[in-house]
Amino acid sequence: MKFFIIPNMTRTNAFDITKALLVKISEFGSTAVLNSSLKKFFGEFVGVSYCDETELGNCDAVISVGGDGSFINAAKKATQADKPIICVNAGKLAYLACIESNELELIGEFIKGNYITEKRMLLDVSIIDKNCKILYHSYCVNDAVVSRSGAIRIMKLSISCNGAPLIQYMADGAIVSTPTGSTAYSLSAGGPVIEPSVESILLTPVCPHSVFSRSVVLGGDSLLEITHDNSGEAILSCDGQEAVIIPDGAVVKITKSDKCSSFVKIKDDTFIEILNKKISG
């Protein structure tokens, strides 16, 4: 079996964990593949091959070593290649981790076929100008965030669902998340936690200037359209990546993607058990 390893080398312990992972994969008679740019870190390991990430599709699975942010970025790459994704925790909370750093032997269970995959919905996000031209498109595993940029001022966001007006927020911004993303930025902004198996779209305001502004949970097939009041520069960020400007008069359209991510689950702990463990520390 062949694994494409994507470590987040900015994590202080990612190097040591990845080394141990490479050894474990070799012990199980499998092959580890790394991006060519990482050869300077791991070139000493026998049996490890290096290639460009375009070759990811030739592997059986993707392993991310890092935290949830690293996992989200790796999951996008795995989804494009239609491969399952395994997360090895080298961070702190890591709600999405499949394996902790002291559980690397569980890779053997994956090789034996003792695992399941959880299909997680993605969001399809576009910015469309007033001439109906698509200016930007992306997929989100966690969330899409519309917020203000530049001067610190409140913004008015108008949001419709399936063509009908839904809500207006006077706020710093709005988060549209998948159930997977409900434990990320949306949770910090006061949003609810949604079990990943519940296919839905979560809308949460950021610092709303109203005591009545709350999160809204919508059906998984909903189409959201978000416009702003043009009183200042607005930006869109998908899964925490580099933000793009939303031009005046443009609309942000968000709906369920036709793609989904395959998250590997090896242990038999439930989502609620994981949540309680991570929140309680």
Average predicted confidence (pLDDT) for the chain = 92
218-229 per-position pLDDT tens digit: 999 999 999 998
Query: pLDDT by residue (tens digit) across 75-125?
Result: 999 999 999 999 999 977 777 889 999 999 999 999 999 999 999 999 999
> What is the CB-side half-sphere exposure of residue 168 using CA atoms within 13 A?
8
User: What average pLDDT score do residues 153-173 get?
Assistant: 93
Indicate the SS3 state at residue 12. coil
Terminal CA-CA length for the chain: 35
Contacts for 214-219: CB closer than 8 Å, 24+ residues apart = 215/186, 215/190, 215/191, 216/166, 216/167, 217/192, 218/161
For the cut 90, the answer to whether the pLDDT of residue 46 exceeds it is no
* pLDDT score at 2: 95
186-216 b/e (C-beta count within 10 Å ≥ 16 → b): bbebebeebebeebbbbbbbbebeeeebebb
Q: Are 12 and 1 in contact (CB under 8 A)?
A: no
Catalytic residue among 16, 68, 229, 258: 68
CA distance 214 to 273: 26
**What pLDDT is attached to residue 151?**
67
Residue 34 pLDDT > 60, yes or no? yes
Measured distance CA(56)–CA(155) in Å, rounded: 42
68 is catalytic: yes
pLDDT of 281 strictly over 60: no
Q: What is the pTM of this model?
A: 0.92
Q: Is residue 232's pLDDT more than 80?
A: no
Q: What percent of the chain has pLDDT over 70?
A: 98
pLDDT (tens digit per residue) in 51-82 = 988 889 999 999 999 988 899 999 999 999 99
- Given a cut of 80, whether residue 210 has pLDDT beyond it is yes
Percent with pLDDT over 90 in the chain:
78
User: How many DSSP H helices and E strands does the chain contain?
Assistant: 6, 17
